[in-house]
Every structure is written in structure tokens, then in C-alpha cells.
Amino acid sequence: MLEFALSGLRSGLRGRSFHAVFFLGVLTIGIAYLSGFFSPRQPQTVALDVGFSGIRFSLVLLNLFWVQELVAREIDRRVILFSLAYPVSRAAFLAGRFAAVLLLSLLAATVLGLLLLLAVLMAGGSYSQEFPLALGLPFWTAVVGLALDAAVVAAFALCIAALSTVSVLPLALGAAFAVAGKALGATIDYLARGADGNEELLASYGPVVDRIRWLLPDLSRLDWREWSMYQLAPGTEMVFWSVAMAVGYIVLLVVAASLLFSLREFS
């Protein structure tokens, strides 16, 4: 497992997709810095909000590309046969590759977080906004939440890669999963408030969303940026259950991927 993780780290850092998406992440941090100038009263808050969204977008893409390159593409090119020739289980191969993805994601989150922190401190010049930001523990807690969000998406993509015979399917379905998981919380809240009085919409989609919420994780619960932006700390119980939800989904998806991969036949 350790050898697969180390080889995955080397491959992930050398991959062209990593360089391209990481450059895109740095570019979004630059956009976050420039966006602060569009708000004369709260430049740092605007820059921080845009930057968090950019980090989430970049981390999700990076995790999807890493799963595709380290697992799906190796299966598609039959390189996996050389790895499975060693006296190790298939579950160890997947676990090692997933560990490499997690380590790479934490590294990328740390670097992008430092860049965002620098951009926010520079945004607005010498202007002192009325509501100061919390750029210590709240800031890094938000970054960890975004990294955990991306890890759930990576686990789902890994499960698809273990089953799929099309190398781009984990990337496509993983992206759809990330969008759906992020939008689920807002959809549930909208329906819970009565859907603006639209009884037909509530009757049509309410039962469907109630079933989906038991299958799809609400990734919006891992977005804790308001603590850093407005010093509105999330409740301890809410954070605990959000982390438990994410870790539970990751464990279930990785176990499912291992079971599916162990039953797969390679020609």
C-alpha cells in the first residue's frame, strides 16, 4: 500500500493535469484579489468569498483528475496488470492510490490557502473595513472543510473508476456528484420554506428530494466560510455531524470500490 501511495504521489505531481488545474487555482486566487476592488466597503470579505469558491472548484477538479490518472487511466491502458502482478491485494492498490490523492489534495489546499491568505491581506490596500475578518483558526477550518468536501468527491470517483470501463466516466460523474452534493442543501432549505408558495413544485419534488437526501451527502454542510468572513462560528454539534457524514461516506465508498474492484476481471 505504501509503495502504491508513493508512486501515486510522484505521478500526481508530475501530471500535466495537475499543473494545468493548479495554475487555474492560482489564477482564481488572482481573480479573488482583483474582485476585492469591486467592493469599496468590504474588499477583503469579497476577495475571501471568491477565493474560497475558487479553492473548492480547484480541489474538486484536482481530485477528479488524480483519480482518473492514478486509477482509471491505468486500468484503461492495462498498466494496472503490472501493479496487480505483485503479491498484494487489489484493495491495497486502491487504498494506496486513494491515500496519494488525499495527500496531494492536502498539499494543494495548503498552498492555495496560503496564496488566498496573502491575496486577502493585500486586497483593498490600506482601507480598513468595518467588519474585520478572522484569518486564523476560522480561515484554516474553512480550508479543511473544502478539502474534506473534495475528498468525498474523490471517493465517489474512485468507486466509479473501480467499476467503469470508460476512463473519463469517473471525471464526468464525479463532477455531477460534486454539483449535486453542493446544491442539495440549498434545495432542501428552499423546499422546507414552502418553495415560495408553489404547492405544485413542493408536491412534485418534495418526496424525491426526501429520498435523495438519504443517498447523497449534503456537501454544503462542509462550507464553513462564514466563520472566517463574518465571525459566525458554526455549532460544535453541526461540525461534528458534518465531519461524521463526510468520513462515513468516504469509508463506505472506498469499501464499495474495493469490493467492486476485487470482482472485476481484466483481459
* pLDDT tens profile 241-250: 999 999 999 9
Amino acid identity at 172:
A
* pLDDT tens profile 115-153: 888 888 887 666 666 678 888 899 999 999 999 999 999
Position 13 confidence tier, pLDDT thresholds 50, 70, 90: low
Residue 238: which residues within 8 A CB-CB, separation 6 or more?
221
CA distance readout (Å), 144 to 79, 119, 167, 234: 33, 19, 29, 14
Which grid cell is 82?
Answer: 503490472
How far apart are alpha carbons 237 and 179 in whole angstroms?
25
Residue-averaged pLDDT of the chain: 83
How far apart are alpha carbons 247 and 251 in whole angstroms?
6
Angle at the Cα of 72 from the Cα atoms of 85 and 256, rounded to 5 degrees: 85
How far apart are alpha carbons 248 and 41 in whole angstroms?
41
The helix/strand/coil state of 252 is helix
Residue 57 has pLDDT above 70, yes or no: yes
pLDDT for the residue numbered 124: 63
What percent of the chain lies above the pLDDT cut of 70? 83
Which grid cell is 251?
Answer: 469509508
Look at the alpha carbons of 10, 12, 15, 20 in this order and tell me if their dihedral is positive or negative. Answer: negative
How far apart are alpha carbons 60 and 29 in whole angstroms?
15
pLDDT, mean of residues 18-30: 79
Helix, strand, coil shares of the chain, percent, nearest 5, are 80, 0, 20
pLDDT, mean of residues 12-36: 77
> Higher pLDDT residue, 151 or 191?
151
Count CA within 13 A, CB hemisphere, residue 165: 4
CB atoms within 10 A of CB 198: 13
Look at the alpha carbons of 64, 251, 192, 145 in this order and tell me if their dihedral is positive or negative. Answer: negative
Widest pairwise Cα distance in the chain:
65
pLDDT for the residue numbered 45: 86
> Higher pLDDT residue, 7 or 123?
123
How far apart are alpha carbons 191 and 181 in whole angstroms?
16
Selection from 175, 170, 139 nearest residue 51 by Cα? 139
pLDDT for the residue numbered 17: 67
* pLDDT tens profile 198-217: 677 677 767 777 777 778 88
* pLDDT tens profile 63-116: 998 888 888 787 777 766 676 666 677 788 888 889 989 998 998 899 889 888
